Amino acid sequence: MKIRKAVIPAAGLGTRFLPVSMSVPKELLPIIDRPLLQYVIAEAAEAGVEEVIIVTSPGKESISGYFQPHSALEQRLAASGETDLLARVAEAGNLAKVSFVLQKEALGLGHAVLMAKDAVGNEPFVVILPDDIIAHSPGAISQMVQVSEELNAGVIAVEAVPWEVVHNYGVVDATQVSDRVHKIKGLVEKPPREQAPSNLTIVGRYILPPQVFEALENTKPGAKGEIQLTDGLLALLRGHELYAYEFAGTRYDGGTPMGLLRASLAFALDREDTSKEAVALLREFQYRIDLSA
């Protein structure tokens, strides 16, 4: 069945971006000139997703504001013939149909996904975490949709990381079935290194069947009172096949200040209109690197 809908949880507290996240949702923080959210919506649209459901929370109204028409601005830019800028204003709204559901309290990623149950209905869908930014063409979601269609099953994006850092991530227990594809037997959240079943860590892209909602409804909150998506997926595994897919591309952690800086530098170097300035900027700092060496 064609993947038409994507759920983007954006209702978290964003504590790693305090204090700025008190006023600006981290999902709206930019890489160069576009918010994180826009990059992942573009990735979904490229994969054929037509409708995006963003999970927001009270106090994060600026997220829906971003996707509303900006008539006064558009009129002004049109009057002065600024067609390039007009296209930029219209870009986010043209990628996909965007709707919003509310998670009143940050009760975990699983709980956030559950809030989108009615909006998704009875069809497979993608979950995208906007702080995981993946640079590649074709995008990670396009790659995953293809795998999901071939195997007629759910697919979770994974990345092999050095064993020293596995304890920071959700990890899959899986058997490789083909190039980049592993059949999942289990999932563990932040295991101690010596107990980690693999070094394949879960990245924020999931293609899931609608039955995940029932699994999440039956998932008990964990230690912090949060419903974890990983626990829901474990329950889903009892009746459904899930595959881990090692996507092609580079992942950037837009959920931390230094991760966002890294992404910004990489994108600035890659973009035609910014690469020259980015190189000059890095050269400007070279002497400091030399000093500290």
Query: Does the footprint of ligand UTP cover residue 106 (CB under 6 A)?
Result: yes
Burial 204-215 (b: 16+ CB within 10 A, else e): bbbbbbeebbeb
Q: Closer to ligand UTP by CB, 168 or 176: give it.
A: 168
Query: Does the footprint of ligand UTP cover residue 209 (CB under 6 A)?
Result: no
Query: Does the footprint of ligand UTP cover residue 170 (CB under 6 A)?
Result: no
Query: Does the footprint of ligand UTP cover residue 255 (CB under 6 A)?
Result: yes
Query: Does the footprint of ligand UTP cover residue 130 (CB under 6 A)?
Result: yes
Asked if 125 contacts 7 with a C-beta cutoff of 8 angstroms, the reply is yes
Q: Closer to ligand UTP by CB, 31 or 55: give it.
A: 55
Query: Does the footprint of ligand UTP cover residue 10 (CB under 6 A)?
Result: yes
Count of positions on this chain that bind ligand UTP (CB under 6 A) = 21
Pick one of 13, 32, 87, 102: the residue that binds ligand UTP (CB under 6 A): 13
* DSSP element (H, E) containing 53: strand 51-56
* Structure-block tokens of residue 191: 């295991």
Mark the segment that binds ligand UTP (CB under 6 A) among 76-84, 102-110, 151-159, 217-225: 102-110
Pick one of 11, 29, 127, 156: the residue that binds ligand UTP (CB under 6 A): 11
Mark the segment that binds ligand UTP (CB under 6 A) among 10-18, 67-75, 209-217, 278-286: 10-18
> Rg of the chain over CA atoms, in angstroms?
20
* DSSP element (H, E) containing 184: strand 181-189
Pick one of 31, 101, 112, 127: the residue that binds ligand UTP (CB under 6 A): 112
Q: Which amino acid is at 248?
A: A
- Phi, psi angles (nearest 5°) of residue 175: -115, 130
Query: Does the footprint of ligand UTP cover residue 154 (CB under 6 A)?
Result: no
Q: How far is the CB of 18 from ligand UTP (least distance, A)?
A: 8
Whether residue 138 has a cis bond before it, omega within 30° of 0:
yes
* Structure-block tokens of residue 246: 């090692």
Burial 101-133 (b: 16+ CB within 10 A, else e): bebeebbbbbbbbbbbbebbeeebbbbbbbbbb
Q: Which residues bind ligand UTP (CB under 6 A)?
A: 9-16, 27, 55, 103, 106-109, 111-112, 129-131, 255
